[in-house]
Structure 1
Amino acid sequence: MQVEDTRQRAHAAVRQELAEQPDAVIEEVARRHGLPPLDATRCLPGSFWCEVSGEHFESVLQEVSDWGEVLVIVHNQDLILEVRCRMPPGQCAHGFYNLKGQGALGGHLRPERCAAILLVRRPFMGCDTASLQFFNTEGEGMFKIFLGRDEQRRVRPDQLQRFQTLAAERTGRPRLWVGDGEEAP
Structure 2
Amino acid sequence: MALTIAELVEQHSELSVSQLAEKAQCSEAEVVAHLPSHWACWLPKEQLQWLMYDLPSWGPMTTIIQVAGSIFEIKDHFPNGKPGHGYYNLMDKQSHLHGHLKLENIANIALVSKPLRGTESYCFQFFDEQGATIFKIYLGRDRKRVLLPEQVARFELLKQNMALTELENEL
1:77 maps to 2:89: no
Map 1:102-181 → 2, pairs under 5 A: 102=93, 103-172=95-164
The normalised TM-score by structure 1 is 0.81
From the superposition, tell whether residues 166 and 22 of structure 1 become closer, same or farther in structure 2 (CA, over 3 Å).
Answer: same
- Displacement of 1:27: 1.8
**2:9, 2:67 → 1: CA distance?**
20
User: Take 1:58 and 1:89, find their aligned partners in 2: how far apart are those partners?
Assistant: 12
Instruction: Report SS of the residue matched to 1:124.
Output: coil
- Alignment match, 2:27: 36
Distance in 2 of aligned mates of 1:59 and 1:122: 24
Ranges in structure 1 where 5+ consecutive residues have no aligned partner: 1-8, 174-185
- Is this contact kept in 1: 2:41–2:162, CA < 8 A? no
TM-score, normalised via structure 2 length: 0.87
Q: Is the 8 A contact 1:55 1:115 kept in 2?
A: no
Between the aligned partners of 1:77 and 1:33, the Cα distance in structure 2 is 18
Q: Tell me the equivalent position of 1:46.
A: 37
Give the CA deviation at 1:171: 4.1
- The answer on whether the counterparts of 2:122 and 2:138 sit within 8 Å (CA) in structure 1 is yes
Deviation (angstroms), 1:78: 2.7
The change in CA–CA distance for 1:14 and 1:76 in structure 2 (over 3 A counts) is farther
Please say if residues 8 and 24 of structure 2, whose CA atoms lie closer than 8 Å, have aligned partners that are also in contact: no
Query: Offset of 1:137 from its aligned partner?
Result: 1.1
The answer (yes or no) to whether the contact 2:17–2:32 under 8 Å persists in 1 is yes
The whole-number CA distance in structure 2 between the counterparts of 1:172 and 1:145 is 23
Q: What residue number does 1:180 align with?
A: none
CA RMSD of aligned residues (A): 1.9
> Identical aligned pairs, as a percentage?
28
Partner of 1:59: 50
2-side partners of 1:76 and 1:45: how far apart? 27
* Cα offset, 1:35, TM superposition: 1.2
Match of 1:16 in 2: 7
Equivalent position of 2:78 in the other structure: 87
* C-alpha displacement of 1:57: 1.6
The 2-side partners of 1:74 and 1:23 are apart by 21
**What CA deviation, in whole Å up to 9, does each residue of 1:114-154 have, x standing for no partner?**
11110011111221011111111111001111001124322
Between the two proteins, the alignment pairs up a number of residues equal to: 164
